[in-house]
Structure 1
Amino acid sequence: MTLRRKLLLVALCTLVLPLVGLLYVRQMETLLRRGQAQALAASAHALARSLVVVGAALPKSSGWYVQRPVDAITVDGYGDDWGPMTPWAQPLGDRGRLMLAHDDAWLYLFASIRDTTRTRRDADAPDAMRADHVLLTLARGQRLCTYLIASAAPGGFSAPALNDCRDDGFPDHINGQWQDDGSGYRIELRLPRSLGVNGLGLSVHDADAATADLTEPVRPLLSYSRSLSAELAQLAPDGVQARVLGTRAWLLATAGSLRTHEDPQRRPGWLAYTIYRLLIAAPFDAAQPWTQDAPRLDTPQVREALAGKEAISWTLGEQRGSVILSVTVPVRDANGVLRGALQLDQASLAVPLLANRALFALLLASLGVLLAAGLVLFGFATRLSVRLGRLRDAAERAQARDGRHSGAFPSHDDTDELGDLARSFERLTQAVAGYTDYLRTLASKLSHELNTPLAIVKSSLDNLEHAGLPEHARPYLQRARDGVTRMGSLVRAMSEASRMERAIEAAEAETFDLREVVHGCAEGYRALAAPRRIELELPALPVTLHGAPELIAQALDKLFGNAVSFTPEDGWIRLGLHVEGDEAVLELANQGPPLPAAMQDRLFDSLVSVREDRGHEGATHLGLGLYVVRLIVERHQGRAEARNLDDGSGVVFTLRLRGMPRERLA
């Protein structure tokens, strides 16, 4: 990983700071929500107690709810006019449902009874009570009147009173419509509001059913109360929508609205709202927009309040960026009896729910500061990387091809740690250059210095031979001559090795086809190797390499000369080339004696040989050929290997070449 990436990673670690700030803002938003909820809950409890204290007209028990019709109702028994009110139909046990509605003049009733088997009689028939019928009980205060509703055929009916109710102001008959089908029958009727009916009970008799009659006792009639709404409006706090609900969650009164009073120009933009929703705000409850116009609020919060517990919920408002806080509390009378529930709804914009807008701005500012810090660190890392790159380039240029020190280091005059490092590198390279110059010239100096003593020793031996030595002394003279000859060969080899190293280091690189070089060398070796066989294995496609072709040919010459000296005349020599990844692999195998196990790792060292101590024409072999091969391979960023063949029939030398490094432009 580069230095710039490491510093960039360090800069990214500073992002924990805005994360901490974000957690702080979220905690602050949670505290603000909690505080706002506690304040609204306190207002709700105070308002619930005030309704009881001022004697507001709260129902003392559950009853039948009377809705306000959306459209005018026609009494025909079909119920088409009751469609908008159907979702809030009230059950009649498990046999049907009941809907009540009223306008300024009439009280309407629609009952749907499930009964697949019919026993029909008119209400004035003697056995009407043994047929399918409904007993409708009307109440006005403590006065009751029961009517028998039955019909022998679909159409209009006249239900007589079962008791004399004229003194109580009830009519002798009430008229309505009866319609039936395969699933049951429907009853629709209306009563004048002037009767003052404030209670109602139903009893359903199925003549063919084995079970008892379904009887719904007389219950009071409940409806939306304008007088209670007026009282509620006087007690409810500003900016809050208040709703009073009965014990079965029917809406009895409402006051106020959910409109926010904030300036629309200050409404948060889509970006601020998105950040608030995704990063800051706690989860919201599922919104239920139908509850605004519904006569019954059967929500989890209301059910919890009617169970005697306080309920709080947060939902998203219809306006962008607004939220709605709802607090629902139970309403109890002085004796602790549950009389209903009170729900307060308060709408506000989303972003003000943060600690304040300054916190949001602080979050953005912290992100900006961290971004600027990251850019500064990245710029510093870039400058430092550039300086280190220059120092690296200077270190590579500091060593010339002939081994001499050249050039100066950058940042030499800088006073920081990098300047100290550059000066230390410069002193180190100067010291290394001095040792390199000494070692580079050591071989030539030794050869020059040893030539004169060797010449003196050789001339002295010649004089001794001409002076006439006794016969027993001549073997010693011959040994002395062999030693002088060997020392002369060593001196020449040292000079030759020194020149060869400089030549290899100074070789110019070019891009060439290695396959052509190997093919040309192999063709030249055939005449020299005869009668030995030469086998050639080359790839079908060219092998491009950036290097010195004359050095590659020289390395092959050394390997071939080594192979010829060990291969019997009827043996074989195999030369191959192939590509492995980014390496060009040269292999030269020959039939002959295997390598000693102890010599395989030292074979390419200088002055190391496994031959006998004689060569052609009795010349001493000094072991420089494979050393030169190693230098050439290393110059091409590769490595040389030697091993025995798996079947033990000979030796294989492997040269793995990557190519000489390309020179950088100054």
Structure 2
Amino acid sequence: MLELRLGLRTKVILISSFLLILPWLGYKYVWEMEKLLRQGQEQTLIGTTRAVATALNERPKLFDRQASFLQSVEKGRDLYAYELHNPIQLDGKLRDWVEYDNKMMVYGRDHVQFSRRPYTANSISFKHMVGKYQGYLYAVFAVKDKQPVMRRVGTKQVDRSDHIVIAMTTSDGDFQRYVISPYEDGWVNAFQISEKDADSMQSDTQRSNTDPTSIASAPVVTESNIQGYWRTTEQGYNLELRIPLALLGSKLGFAFYDVNNERDREIDTIIGTSNTSHLNRLGTILIPSPDIDNILKGMGHTSSRIWIIDRHQRVLAQTGDIQESNGVWSTSIKYGEEADSWWTHFEKTFLHPLYYKFLISEPVDFVDSQQDAAYLKGVHISQALQGRGYSHWRLSGDSNAMILAAAYPIWLGNNVMGAVVAEESTSGIQTLRNRALEKLFNVILAIIAIGTITLFLFASNISSRIRLLRDEAEQAIDSQGRIKKTISPTNGTDEIGDLSRSLAAMVGRLGQYNHYLENLSSRLSHELRTPVAVVRSSIENLSMQNQDEDSQRYIARAHDGIHRLSTILSNMTEATRIEQSLQGAEKEYFPFNELVTGCMQGYQMAYPAQSFNVKVPDSAIMINGAPDYLAQLLDKLIANAEDFSRNQNPIEVTLERHNNEARLVVSNQGPPLPENMADQLLNSMVSVRTQDKQTKPHLGLGLFIARLISEYHLGSIRLRNRDDNKGVEAILLLPLS
């Protein structure tokens, strides 16, 4: 299992990564601040609607011409004049009405007031809307009629062809009706249907109840202020009208009278916005109030879009643009000072792109579905029309922005006549939040960078001191455990300094003890040689005298003991002598293969009971070394192999070139090496011989001497079990010259 090692600097960097919690905490804090700002924006917007509503309270004249006193309104019957952005060119081509196509209403079966025959989809129908622009009311009609019938040239009858009846109340409340019945396509004017007196109006009304196709028997008078353009199309005809707002009161209706037979010219169908024959059945017209507009303008410039609606949720006035309605928070952003410095340039060039790509969302343009709306809906409006101020959050039409809307009721006595609706986007708060996040991230980034660099440098200083102490500790003791050099204590006052001084003192004491042990063998051998010589001479003197058989046996055993003791003393000093003599040895270039061949011939005579298999190449294997010492190394390897070999199995000696080295392998069959003992056998005073192999004294110095000689020749020696696990291999590697 692979163990993951982490250095001190890596650990410090990982620990310092917890500083990344700071941006998250700051980010959450700014979001909480944004919530508070939104709550403040809600209260401010409700206060704005309350202030505007206060200026409109108890002012009935603002609503008496707006049809706002009606208990209910009917779509299609009660008309709404949209605010037009541009003047309308009266040409019957309807090009100026394209952008208002979604506001046009289709009048069909549900708006038929009279029909001689069953109404079908092929019968007359039309699309219609009205709009206001600079003192005029514009009306458009796109009529579908399979058989348009125009008025005969020269006739004064206006009700024997396709025509339109316009009914309205004046600003004084008088009921007026007009008819448009053209001879041909082109510019048209309306004819006013004038009533002789109240009796004639009454009789006309009675006739109308009997025959709804009859508009009036009274003469008609041209009304030059009501103008229009009639154009025949493939589907029927288009009609554009322009009526001065000064002529209009609070009621207005349009009705088309359709004639399909050019011979009898009877009215087949009457279809319109409302019944134009009776004042009490006439529909209303709501025109956005200029008086309320003036009041809104008098409130001064606001940072909100404000609507005034009546009790039927129809828009009476509107000011402001939601795209620019960022709330009061946009003021501090708009007029805030921005420093021009290298840091500002660095922020905009490098930091801000990163922030806005991964961390911050930038305000984007959005589409408002309620732009130029005629009716407003929402829970805040419903609450306001019930007499309670309320605020409400909604998504824009494309879901790119949040819009805050607040509504407050307009009172007339104890009745709610309408409501003030104010709307703002959250772009101002979002931009303010982004500015706060930019500054927050700048500060936190600086803190993290400085903190991380400081911790990294601190960890680097600590780790370098620890590595230096580790390197000194590794260099102080070699692989055999001998003290090679001391550790230099540091003057640091921290724990690492204390550790350095402790290790230095410990290595110093170990060095003294090691020196004592290294010289112990030579001192012992020196001290023991004199008593051994005295004992040997005494035994030899005793052996010259006539002794009985038992005495001779004891003297022989004493001779054997003295011999073994001398061998031990010789072995104890041999390693020291070789190590000292190696320091003054001279190297030469010689063929190592010839040295191995010659030595193996001598071993065959020295170990007559042991057989050998020798594989040495004929080509010269030149090395740079001391032949005598390499022969002694080979002696140790062969002696060790012979000690553990079974005599019936030969010892295999193989020499070959291996890369840039001479590779000598001495292999014998016998007991395998104990586990984890292969490297330890090359150390001094280590042996694994069993009791049956202790025929002569062994101190475990043979392989140790072999290792000393190999290291002197810049080579290496190692022991391992054979592949068949039936014995041991000693492998010597020496660099080629």
Matched ranges for 1:479-498 at <5 A: 479-498=557-576
- Is structure 2 residue 687 aligned with structure 1 residue 608? yes
**Distance change in 2, residues 1:188/1:611 (3 Å):** same
Give, in whole Å, the separation in 2 of the partners of 1:314 and 1:30: 17
Specify which of 35, 38, 44 is matched with residue 43 of structure 2: 38
Specify which of 187, 209, 212 is matched with residue 238 of structure 2: 187
Specify which of 196, 201, 215 is matched with residue 163 of structure 1: 215
**Distance change in 2, residues 1:503/1:287 (3 Å):** farther
User: Contact conserved, 1:232 with 1:255, CA < 8 A, in 2?
Assistant: no
Aligned-partner SS, 1:24: helix
Partner AA of 2:45 in structure 1: L
Farther-moved stretch of structure 1 (72-81 vs 193-202): 193-202
Specify which of 270, 295, 317 is matched with residue 252 of structure 1: 317
Q: Percent identity?
A: 22
- 1:438: Cα distance to partner? 1.4
- Is structure 2 residue 527 aligned with structure 1 residue 444? no
Which residue number corresponds to residue 208 of structure 2?
none
Which residue number corresponds to residue 139 of structure 1?
168
Matched ranges for 1:569-608 at <5 A: 572-573=652-653, 588=665, 590=667, 592-595=669-672, 606-608=685-687
Which residue number corresponds to residue 392 of structure 2?
311
Give, in whole Å, the separation in 2 of the partners of 1:66 and 1:307: 23
- 1:551: Cα distance to partner? 10
Aligned-partner SS, 2:284: strand
User: Contact conserved, 1:613 with 1:621, CA < 8 A, in 2?
Assistant: no
Matched ranges for 1:368-517 at <5 A: 368=446, 371-396=449-474, 403=482, 409-412=488-491, 414-498=492-576
Give, in whole Å, the separation in 1 of the partners of 2:243 and 2:127: 22
User: Contact conserved, 2:362 with 2:431, CA < 8 A, in 1?
Assistant: no
User: Contact conserved, 1:224 with 1:252, CA < 8 A, in 2?
Assistant: yes
Give the TM-score taking structure 1 as reference length.
0.68
**Distance change in 2, residues 1:112/1:469 (3 Å):** farther
Which residue number corresponds to residue 97 of structure 2?
82
Which residue number corresponds to residue 111 of structure 1?
141
Which residue number corresponds to residue 285 of structure 2?
221
**Distance change in 2, residues 1:163/1:206 (3 Å):** closer
User: Contact conserved, 1:575 with 1:586, CA < 8 A, in 2?
Assistant: yes
**Mind listing any 5+ residue stretches in structure 2 that lack a counterpart?**
1-5, 110-124, 153-160, 194-213, 261-268, 275-281, 384-389, 602-610, 618-625
Partner AA of 2:147 in structure 1: R
- 1:5: Cα distance to partner? 4.1
Partner AA of 1:242 in structure 2: I
- 1:44: Cα distance to partner? 1.5
Give, in whole Å, the separation in 1 of the partners of 2:314 and 2:703: 102
- Could you list the per-position Cα deviations for residues 445-492 of structure 1 after superposition, in whole angstroms to 9, with x for gaps in the alignment? 221122222222222232233223334544443333232222222222
Tell me which of the two structures has the higher relative contact order, counting C-alpha pairs closer than 8 angstroms and 6 or more residues apart: 2
User: Contact conserved, 2:228 with 2:239, CA < 8 A, in 1?
Assistant: no
- Is structure 2 residue 302 aligned with structure 1 residue 231? no
User: Contact conserved, 2:489 with 2:504, CA < 8 A, in 1?
Assistant: no
User: Contact conserved, 1:305 with 1:341, CA < 8 A, in 2?
Assistant: no
**Distance change in 2, residues 1:347/1:310 (3 Å):** closer
- Could you list the per-position Cα deviations for residues 327-361 of structure 1 after superposition, in whole angstroms to 9, with x for gaps in the alignment? 3325455566573552244899669946998x987
User: Contact conserved, 1:98 with 1:110, CA < 8 A, in 2?
Assistant: yes
- Is structure 2 residue 230 aligned with structure 1 residue 177? yes
Give, in whole Å, the separation in 2 of the partners of 1:166 and 1:630: 141
Q: How many residues align?
A: 605
- 1:230: Cα distance to partner? 0.7
User: Contact conserved, 2:292 with 2:316, CA < 8 A, in 1?
Assistant: no
Aligned-partner SS, 1:469: coil
**Distance change in 2, residues 1:532/1:77 (3 Å):** farther
- Is structure 2 residue 33 aligned with structure 1 residue 28? yes
Partner AA of 2:36 in structure 1: L
User: Contact conserved, 2:363 with 2:427, CA < 8 A, in 1?
Assistant: no
RMSD of aligned residue pairs (Cα, Å): 5.9
- 1:214: Cα distance to partner? 8.1
- Is structure 2 residue 112 aligned with structure 1 residue 101? no
User: Contact conserved, 1:123 with 1:159, CA < 8 A, in 2?
Assistant: no
Give, in whole Å, the separation in 1 of the partners of 2:58 and 2:360: 37
- 1:33: Cα distance to partner? 3.4
Matched ranges for 1:48-59 at <5 A: 48-55=53-60, 57=62, 59=66
- 1:185: Cα distance to partner? 4.7
Matched ranges for 1:301-380 at <5 A: 303-308=378-383, 310-312=391-393, 326-329=404-407, 331=409, 333-334=411-412, 339=418, 342-345=421-424, 353=432, 368=446, 371-380=449-458
- Which has the larger Rg? 2
**Distance change in 2, residues 1:52/1:22 (3 Å):** same
User: Contact conserved, 1:179 with 1:186, CA < 8 A, in 2?
Assistant: yes
Partner AA of 1:120 in structure 2: Q
Give, in whole Å, the separation in 2 of the partners of 1:207 and 1:496: 142
Aligned-partner SS, 2:53: helix
Partner AA of 2:238 in structure 1: I
Partner AA of 1:422 in structure 2: S
Give, in whole Å, the separation in 2 of the partners of 1:486 and 1:96: 136
Give, in whole Å, the separation in 2 of the partners of 1:214 and 1:633: 122
User: Contact conserved, 2:189 with 2:223, CA < 8 A, in 1?
Assistant: no
Give, in whole Å, the separation in 1 of the partners of 2:249 and 2:551: 160
Specify which of 288, 295, 302 is matched with residue 372 of structure 2: 295
Matched ranges for 1:10-25 at <5 A: 10-14=15-19, 16-17=21-22, 19-25=24-30
Matched ranges for 1:530-569 at <5 A: 532-534=612-614, 558-559=636-637, 562-563=640-641, 566=645
